[in-house]
Structure 1
Amino acid sequence: MRILILADEVWNDYIFGNGVLTNWFTNFDAEFAEIYLSPGVPNNKICDKYFQITDRQMLSSVVGKRAGGIVVKENSNSQMMVQHQGIYGYLKKLSTTIHTPMMMIRDAIWCAGRYDKIAIKNFIDNFDPDIIFSSRMATPKFLRFERIIHSVCNKPMLAFTGDNEIGFDCYSISPLFWLRRWYTTKMFERNKDIYSHYFAHSKSQSLLYNRKYGIATSVLYKCTSNSQPEHIHAVNQPINIVYAGRLYCNRWKTLAALGRALKQINRDGQKIVLNIYTLDTLTEAQKRVLNENFSIYVKGGVTPKELIEVYNHTDIALHVESYDKANKLATKYSFSTKIIDLLSSGCAVMAICWEEQTGYQYLKEQDAAICIPNYDSIEYELKELVKNPYIIREYAGKALACAVKNHSREAVHRQLTGIFQLVINRNRRIKEL
C-alpha cells in the first residue's frame, strides 16, 4: 500500500516529538510520501519522499514563480528551529496577539498564490499512491490545497481533524472571526464530496459530519507506547499529581482552581502536591497562583523520555481544559493526544473539564479516569482521595486496562488498514464500471 500524506506542518520528530503521524504509522505496512505546507526539513524514520510549499513561495507566486518543490529529508536535528524563521515565524508570532486578522492575511496569500501543478502532478505520479491521507484542521488554505491535489490526482482522499474546525458552535465577539468561520464552512461544504472517509477524535463530531454532510466517518485515536509499566506502584505521601503540557487556552486557570483546593486541604499538613512540567514562561498573573503557597511546583520542561520517568514516581496524571465559554467551545471536539499517554503511564488519570468536552466524555464513558466536571467539585474529590488512597491505585489499573484494550498499536493499525483497504477496493470497483 502506498499512502500520500498531506500535512500543514513539517514531519519532524525533533520538533513534534508527540506527532500523530509518527505515532500512527510506526511499523505500519505501507510506503509513504508527503506534501507539506510549511518551512523546515522533515526528520523521521518512516517517510523518505517529500514535496514542500511554503508561505514565502506562495507570496512570491502571486507575481513570480509558481510555488512548490521536492525537498530532501534531514538525518539530524539541525533543522529543529527552522519553522520559526522567516515570514512563517513572523506571521505565527503576530497571530498570537492579532490572531484572526493575521490568519485572514495568510488565507488570502494561500488562496491567491499559484501552485506549481505540473511539479505536484509529477511528484504524485512518480509515487503513484493508492490513497491520500490528509491530516490537518480545515482552513481556507488547506481546503483549497486539497482541491488542487484532487484535481491532479484521481485517488481516494481520507481526512483527519482533531479540532472544532467548521460550523458555528463556537464563541467570539470579533466580526472577522465569524466571517472567516463562515467562509471556511462554505469551503468545507464544497469539499465534502472529495472525502472518501473522515476521521476525528470526537464521536459527536464524527456523527455530525456523517449526518449533516453524508461523509463516511469514524473515530481515530492515538496509539499507546509499547512501554506500559508492569505494575502499579504504592501511593506516595504526600500524593503526587503531575500536569505536563501547555498552559494556554486558559488551562492555567483550571490548574489555579486545583491549587486553591490544595491550599485548603494542606492547611494542617501537606497531603497532596501538584508538579507542573511546561516549557511555557509564566506571566505575572500565572506566577501569583501557580506557586508553592498553593502546593504547586513549576518544574519547567522535560523530554518525552524524561516524562516517562516522572510518571514512574507519580500517583495522578492530570488532564485539564478551560471552563470559559470561548475555550470550552474551541476545544469541545479536541481529544488531547496526551490523554493516551496518560492512560498508559501507570498513574491514575484525573480529568478536570467541561462535561461536553470530548476527552472528558471518553474517559467518563470508559470509567478510565477520576472525572471532575466543575471547580466546585475539586476539593471534595481530592479529600476523598486523601481518605481513600486505594481509589488512586484502582484508577491506575483502569487506565492501563483502557490503554491496552482500546489503544494498542495493533488495534489502531487494524482499524486503519481495514478502512484504507475498503476505500481502495471501492475506488477500483468504480474505475472498472
Structure 2
Amino acid sequence: MNNENKLPKVLVIGINAWREDGTAHTLMDIFRCWDSERIALVYTRADMPNTEVCKYYFQISESQIIHSVLKPWMRVGRIVGNTPVVKNVEVEAEHARYTKAHKSNSPWMPFLREIVWKFGQWRTPALKQFVLDFNPDIIFVPIYPNAYMGRIQRYITKLTGKPTVCYLADDNYSYDSCKSILQYVHRFWLRHHVGPIARNCKDMFVIVEKEKEDTDSRFGTDSKILTKSIDFTEKDYQHHTPNHPLKFVYTGSMVIGRDKTLALVADAINEINKQYGEVKAELYIYSQTEPSDNIRQRINNGAAHFCGRISRDEVLHVQIKSDVVIFAEALEGKEANAAKLSFSTKITDYISNGKCVLAIGKDYIAPIDYFQRNDSALIAHSKDEILRQIKRIVENPNIVDEYGEKAFNCAVRNHEKNMMNKRFINTMCNAIK
C-alpha cells in the first residue's frame, strides 16, 4: 500500500461488465465500500461498464476471441471506460448467442466455448501492460464454472506475483451436478484450474455456512462468509396484511429444473382452489426463460399465470405486492444438485424486504439448509410437501406476516451492511500483510 490510510489496490478478474442497470450486481455490490480509484476490473463480455464503483477496466470480448481463432494474427482486448451506452452490434450478437445457448441447454455449448477460448488470442501485450501499470496490491478471484476464466486468472496472478483472495459462490469443483460424459470432461478440465487457484489463495470467501464446511474440508481453507449486504439504518419490518386471494410470486430463471418445480406449485394451487370451490391463491411467474409447451400449459393455467420478462424495477414492485415469494430449485435427478453450494442474491432481497418465503428444494442443498438453520422460510422438499405448505398458508394467512418477520430478523442478523463491509475489508487487508 502507498499509504497506510488507503485501502489496497485490487484487481478483479471477472466475467461481466459492472453496470448499474445490468443484471449481474454481486461483485459490484461487494466493492461499494471500496475506493473506486483503487479498483480495476478485467472482464470478458462485450457490454460496456457504467458505475461509480470502479474507474479502470480492461475488456476481452468473447466476440473478438471468436474472430481471433479464425485470424490468429489478430490481438484482442482494450482499455475501456464507464459509458451509458448499453447496446451495439457486438453486444446484441453476444446476448443472442447466450440466449440461444441457455434455451438449447446443449452440453456441447460450454465445451465448444472452452475450445474457442483455448485458441483465442487473449494473452496480449495490452493486457500485460494494463495489469502492470495498475500494479495491484492484491488480486480478487471469483471462481467461475468456466475453465477459460481460470486460465486468465492464473496468468494474471503469475504475472503480478501478488496475493490472491478467492470468492466461491457455487459448487464449481465437484462432479455432483454432471449428467453426461461431456459435462464430466468439462468439469475435469475446470478442476485443473480451480484446484490450484483455491489452494494457493491467501483467503477464501464463500456465501453460506454449508459451502464453508465443504470448501474448508476440500481445500484446507478457513473461509469467510460474504454475501450481498443490506443497509438497515432506516429500515424496519413492515407488517403485512394478506391479500385475498393470496398472491404467490416467482421472479427469476426457470433453468436447471426450476420450471418443473414451478409446475408443481401451479398444480398444487389449482388443486387447492378446486377443493375449496373458490380462488384462495394465485401464482404469478415472471421469467425471461421460455418454458416448453408442456410446462407452459401447467404454469399458465387456472390461477397460475406465466407473465414473461419484466424490468428490474418491476421485479421489486411485484415482490413487494406479493404475499409469498417462491424460492425454487429442482427436486429431481442431477439437477437437484445444481444449487448444492449456491446462495442466490434473491434470497437476501426476499428476506431483507420482510417477505414470507416458500423455499422448495432438497434438504441437503445450501439455500434450503440456510432457511432451515435460521427458521426463515416455509420449506418443501417434495411434491406432497409443496401441497401441504400451500394449504397451510391458505388455511392460516397470518403465517405470511409471521414468516415475513422471521425472514427480516434473519437478514438483520446475517447480512447487515456494516458487519459485511468490515469483514470484507479486514480480510482483504490482512491478506497482503
Same fold (TM over 0.5): yes
Q: 2:197 — aligned with what?
A: 191
Q: 2:4 — aligned with what?
A: none
CA contact (8 A) 1:331 1:357 kept: yes
- Displacement of 1:40: 1.9
Q: 2:139 — aligned with what?
A: 132
Secondary structure of 1:318's aligned partner:
strand
Which of residues 168, 173, 184 in structure 2 aligns to 1:178?
184
| Deviates further, 123-132 or 201-210 | 201-210
CA deviation profile, 1:55-103 (whole Å, cap 9, x unmatched): 34434555214332211221x24338853415x7547634653633232
- Displacement of 1:351: 0.3
CA distance in 1, matches of 2:395, 2:67: 65
| Deviates further, 211-220 or 226-235 | 226-235
Q: 1:391 — aligned with what?
A: 399
- Displacement of 1:14: 2.3
CA distance in 1, matches of 2:344, 2:60: 28
Which of residues 10, 13, 16 in structure 1 aligns to 2:20?
13
Compute the TM-score of the two structures, normalised by the length of structure 2: 0.89
CA distance in 2, matches of 1:115, 1:225: 39
Secondary structure of 2:107's aligned partner:
helix
Q: 1:314 — aligned with what?
A: 322
Which of residues 214, 223, 246 in structure 1 aligns to 2:220?
214
Q: 2:246 — aligned with what?
A: 239
Which of residues 265, 273, 283 in structure 1 aligns to 2:292?
283
CA contact (8 A) 1:277 1:299 kept: yes
What amino acid maps onto 2:56 in structure 1?
A: K
| Deviates further, 377-386 or 145-154 | 377-386
Q: 1:106 — aligned with what?
A: 113
Q: 2:128 — aligned with what?
A: 121
* C-alpha spacing 1:328/1:182, structure 2 compared with 1 (3 Å): same
CA contact (8 A) 1:28 1:413 kept: no
* C-alpha spacing 1:309/1:103, structure 2 compared with 1 (3 Å): closer
Secondary structure of 1:12's aligned partner:
coil
* C-alpha spacing 1:375/1:81, structure 2 compared with 1 (3 Å): farther
Q: Does 1:378 align with 2:386?
A: yes
CA contact (8 A) 1:353 1:373 kept: yes
- The number of residues matched between the two structures is 420
Q: 1:271 — aligned with what?
A: 280
Secondary structure of 1:134's aligned partner:
strand
Q: 1:23 — aligned with what?
A: 29
Q: 2:209 — aligned with what?
A: 203
- Displacement of 1:288: 0.9
* C-alpha spacing 1:218/1:297, structure 2 compared with 1 (3 Å): same
Q: 1:431 — aligned with what?
A: none
What amino acid maps onto 2:364 in structure 1?
A: E
CA contact (8 A) 2:356 2:401 kept: yes
* C-alpha spacing 1:78/1:170, structure 2 compared with 1 (3 Å): closer
- Displacement of 1:369: 0.8
| Deviates further, 296-305 or 331-340 | 296-305
CA distance in 1, matches of 2:98, 2:361: 31
What amino acid maps onto 2:188 in structure 1?
A: W
CA deviation profile, 1:334-364 (whole Å, cap 9, x unmatched): 2111011110223211101111121111011
CA contact (8 A) 2:229 2:415 kept: yes
- Displacement of 1:275: 1.5
- Displacement of 1:246: 1.6
* C-alpha spacing 1:239/1:134, structure 2 compared with 1 (3 Å): same
| Deviates further, 225-234 or 161-170 | 225-234
| Deviates further, 397-406 or 226-235 | 226-235
Which of residues 73, 76, 100 in structure 2 aligns to 1:64?
73
What amino acid maps onto 1:35 in structure 2?
A: V
CA deviation profile, 1:223-255 (whole Å, cap 9, x unmatched): 236675651121122221111112222212111
Q: 1:429 — aligned with what?
A: none
Secondary structure of 1:364's aligned partner:
helix
C-alpha RMSD of the superposition = 2.4
Q: Does 1:144 align with 2:151?
A: yes
CA distance in 1, matches of 2:203, 2:265: 40
What amino acid maps onto 1:269 in structure 2?
A: E
CA contact (8 A) 1:95 1:102 kept: no
CA distance in 1, matches of 2:48, 2:388: 49
Q: 1:169 — aligned with what?
A: 176
Which of residues 76, 79, 94 in structure 1 aligns to 2:87?
79
What amino acid maps onto 2:162 in structure 1?
A: K
* C-alpha spacing 1:3/1:187, structure 2 compared with 1 (3 Å): closer
Secondary structure of 2:165's aligned partner:
strand
User: Any unmatched runs of 5+ in structure 2?
Assistant: 1-6
Compute the TM-score of the two structures, normalised by the length of structure 1: 0.89
CA contact (8 A) 2:47 2:86 kept: no
CA distance in 2, matches of 1:200, 1:291: 37
- Displacement of 1:260: 1.7
Q: Does 1:156 align with 2:163?
A: yes
